[in-house]
DNA sequence: AAGTGGTCTAGACCACGTC
DNA sequence: ACGTGGTCTAGACCACTTT
């Protein structure tokens, strides 16, 4: 009777993953409960719990009280994307970061913008800027800032620091939405990015909130060829 | 002396998040250690640990042994994207799912494909298919399957089940890469999706592995207007 | 060397959902 | 009603990293 040493939760997790991949536990199968596994592995139930909870978070297991733990029938892959500052993104690749403010104005937003931010039609701060990598256009930032939520933004010129960066340091948010899509470059975007009109560009739209108050809405238009990568 | 009830890790987490948002703990600040917080909150250290670990995973705290726990200077937002089956994606929106196999052949892959899959130049299974939502083109799937890793794929016709779905049920993978980008629709893609040539389309490229063996490489080209959304 | 987070244990009670 | 996962506790030891 060998009692292999499953002494920590990572080891237990590896064994669980192995059994799933090896089809010892098939999709849809009910696996033994925590107490039984703890006994089998010779560790505490809390250790098994930690391992199974982690695997469940990755989508490979479905856990329900009383019903037990099952191998997911159709594992939903979860890709985690780190949304970092554009400056960091560029510097992380060893390139030189550049920033140019294109325009800064107080203006009444189009209905689509004020609707998304759920604010009464009022003047808001509108920024347009260009991010560069090694002096080449990298992305256009088009941002609306809710000055009711972030009044201090009014006294910032944004000519050396991007809205991206200033807000992160000065305007906390509790939650937000993000959307990825493809679009055809507008005339203005094509001019700034130095690409053909209607070129296919990668777009990120983000909307952030501080509790019930909207903070900012930003659209990032990346130069053609940009990819967002991650692992599964 | 009030002893507010921070009796579970979620409550502790909320209080920690409140202090960060309220700038009681500012970016860069060292916060009290687990033992002190446990005493302050009147709970066990393990409970504080669970709360802080969870917050750290979201990117708002940096934790290092001996150095302690600090509020992140530049919180990296982490967006988690669920990569589900296209069929589920469509059905979840209450639309009717449709599938059409366009082509299935054994052929020698272009160098780019065989290079990505790290296989010797050999015949591989190539599938092209169309996914439909309410009878309208939704996405084109272009897939290469490594028949050395998944020989059973050779006996599947794929005329009623997509490669997407069949592989999930029949070919486990341990890890993979995924990339999002924008591209101009090729002639073939435009024809299948019913969109203009060179229209801006959203593209997902995925490459999966079972340990050291490549399983499949797939490119999904979505009809114009497609968005991938999630929350922050 | 010492302080901090990381984890394990054994036992307990609770919450939820199925039966 | 009862079985399962979810969590808390108190104490212990360990691993890492900084001093």
Give the range among A6-15, A116-125, B43-52, B170-179 with minimum mean pLDDT.
A116-125
Non-local (6+) Cβ contacts of B230 within 8 A are A177, A178, A179, B79, B80, B81, B82
Span A88-116, average pLDDT: 88
Q: Given an 8 Å threshold on Cβ–Cβ distance, is B81 in contact with A84?
A: no
Q: Which two tokens stand for residue B143?
A: 């897939």
- Chain centroid to CA B46: 31
Collect all residues of chain A within an 8 Å Cβ-Cβ radius of residue B168: 74-75
Q: Given an 8 Å threshold on Cβ–Cβ distance, is B80 in contact with A76?
A: no
User: Does A2 or B8 have the greater pLDDT score?
Assistant: B8
Q: Which residue is it, tokens 């690749």?
A: A93
A63 in contact with chain B, both atoms CB, cutoff 8 A: no
State the nearest Cα–Cα gap between A85 and chain B, in angstroms.
Answer: 8
pLDDT of A88 > 70? The answer is yes
| Residue B5 pLDDT | 61
- Listed by number, the residues of chain B in 206-225 with a beta carbon closer than 8 Å to a beta carbon of chain A are 206, 208, 210, 222, 224-225
Contact B106, B124 (CB under 8 A): yes
- Chain centroid to CA A202: 15
Question: d(Cα B61, Cα B71) in Å, to the nearest integer?
Answer: 5
Q: How many residues does chain A have?
A: 232
Backbone phi and psi for residue B143, each to the nearest 5 degrees, phi listed first: -130, 140
Pick among B29, B44, B77 to test the A interface (most A CBs inside 10 A): B77
Entry pTM: 0.89
Specify whether the backbone of A147 is left (phi greater than 0), alpha (psi in -120 to 50) or beta. Answer: alpha
Residue B87, CB, less than 7 Å from strand C?
no
Q: Which residue is it, tokens 């924008």?
A: B182
SS (H, E, C) chain B: CCCCCCCCHHHHHHHHHHHHHCCCCCCCCEECCHHHHHHHHCCCHHHHHHHHHHHHHCCCEEEECCCEEEECCCCCEEEEEEECCHHHHHHHCCCCEEEEEEEEEEECCCHHHHHHHCCCCCCEEEEEEEEEECCEEEEEEEEEECCCCCHHHHHCCCCCCCHHHHHHHHCCCCEEEEEEEEEECCHHHHHHHCCCCCCEEEEEEEEEEECCEEEEEEEEEECCCCEEEEEC
Q: Given an 8 Å threshold on Cβ–Cβ distance, is A77 in contact with B169?
A: no
Span B23-31, average pLDDT: 93
Question: Which of A80, A82, A177 comes nearest B229 by C-beta?
Answer: A177
Third-level CATH fold of A9-71: Arc Repressor Mutant, subunit A (1.10.10)
DSSP A46: H
CATH class of A86-222: alpha beta
Contact A21, B172 (CB under 8 A): yes
Contact B167, B144 (CB under 8 A): no
For residue A1, count other CB atoms closer than 10 A to its CB.
2
Question: d(Cα B138, Cα B20) in Å, to the nearest integer?
Answer: 43
Span A139-145, average pLDDT: 96
DSSP A185: P
Collect all residues of chain A within an 8 Å Cβ-Cβ radius of residue B17: 174
Q: Which two tokens stand for residue B24?
A: 């009681």
Nucleotides of C under 7 A from a protein CB: 2-12, 15-19
Q: Which residue's CA is nearest to the C1' of nucleotide C6?
A: B65
C1’ C16 / CA A207, Å: 35
Collect all residues of chain A within an 8 Å Cβ-Cβ radius of residue B172: 20-21, 23
Question: d(Cα B55, Cα A82) in Å, to the nearest integer?
Answer: 15
Which of residues 41 to 80 on A have a Cβ less than 7 angstroms from any strand D atom? 45-46, 49, 52-53, 56, 63-69
C1’ D7 / CA A13, Å: 20
Q: Which two tokens stand for residue A179?
A: 């959307």
Question: d(Cα B49, Cα B129) in Å, to the nearest integer?
Answer: 49
- Chain centroid to CA B206: 10
**What are the residue boundaries of the structural domains of chain A, listed by start?**
9-71, 86-222
Backbone phi and psi for residue B76, each to the nearest 5 degrees, phi listed first: -90, 115
pLDDT per residue as tens digits for the range A143-174: 999 998 999 999 999 999 999 899 988 888 88
B112 in contact with chain A, both atoms CB, cutoff 8 A: no
Q: Which residue is it, tokens 């779905």?
A: B165
pLDDT per residue as tens digits for the range B47-104: 999 999 999 999 999 999 999 999 998 888 889 998 888 998 999 889 999 999 999 9
Question: d(Cα A109, Cα A125) in Å, to the nearest integer?
Answer: 9
Question: Which of A21, A174, A176 comes nearest B174 by C-beta?
Answer: A21
Question: Which of A77, A203, A210 comes nearest B83 by C-beta?
Answer: A77
Q: Given an 8 Å threshold on Cβ–Cβ distance, is A80 in contact with B78?
A: yes
Which pLDDT band, with edges at 50, 70 and 90, does A2 fall under?
very low
pLDDT of A75 > 70? The answer is yes
Question: d(Cα B193, Cα A28) in Å, to the nearest integer?
Answer: 35
B84 in contact with chain A, both atoms CB, cutoff 8 A: yes
pLDDT per residue as tens digits for the range B153-201: 999 999 999 998 999 888 888 899 999 999 999 999 999 999 999 999 9
Torsion of CA A176, B229, A99, B58, to 10 degrees: 50
What 3-state class would DSSP assign to A204?
strand
Collect all residues of chain B within an 8 Å Cβ-Cβ radius of residue A57: none
Collect all residues of chain A within an 8 Å Cβ-Cβ radius of residue B179: 227-230
A230 in contact with chain B, both atoms CB, cutoff 8 A: yes
Q: Which two tokens stand for residue A213?
A: 């108050």
Q: Which two tokens stand for residue A118?
A: 């759920």
Of B33-42, B107-116, B168-177, highest mean pLDDT: B33-42
| pLDDT > 90 in chain B, percent | 74
Residue B68, CB, less than 7 Å from strand C?
yes
pLDDT per residue as tens digits for the range A12-66: 999 999 999 999 999 999 999 999 999 999 999 999 999 999 999 999 999 999 9
pLDDT of A231 > 60? The answer is yes
Q: Which two tokens stand for residue B103?
A: 């082509």
Contact B133, B97 (CB under 8 A): yes
Residue B196, CB, less than 7 Å from strand C?
no
Average per-residue pLDDT for chain A: 91
């Amino acid at each position: 009777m060998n009692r292999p040493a499953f002494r920590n939760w990572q080891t237990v997790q590896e064994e669980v993953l192995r059994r799933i991949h090896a089809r010892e536990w098939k999709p849809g199968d009910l696996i033994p409960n925590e107490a039984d596994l703890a006994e089998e592995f010779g560790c505490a139930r809390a250790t098994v719990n930690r391992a199974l909870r982690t695997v469940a978070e990755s989508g490979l297991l479905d856990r329900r009280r009383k019903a037990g733990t099952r191998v997911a029938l159709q594992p939903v892959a979860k890709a985690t994307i780190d949304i970092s500052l554009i400056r960091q993104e560029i510097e992380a690749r060893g390139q030189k970061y550049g920033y140019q403010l294109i325009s800064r104005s107080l203006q009444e937003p189009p209905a689509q913008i004020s609707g998304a931010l759920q604010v009464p039609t009022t003047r808001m701060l509108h920024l347009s800027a260009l991010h560069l990598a090694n002096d080449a256009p990298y992305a256009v930032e088009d941002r609306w800032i809710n000055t009711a939520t972030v009044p201090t933004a009014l006294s910032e010129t944004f000519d050396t620091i991007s809205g991206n960066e200033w807000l992160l340091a000065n305007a906390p948010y509790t939650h937000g939405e993000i959307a990825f899509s493809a679009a055809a470059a507008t005339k203005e975007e094509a001019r700034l990015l130095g690409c053909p009109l209607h070129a296919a560009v990668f777009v990120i739209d983000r909307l952030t909130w501080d509790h019930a108050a909207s903070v900012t809405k930003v659209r990032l238009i990346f130069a053609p060829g940009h990819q967002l990568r991650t692992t599964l």
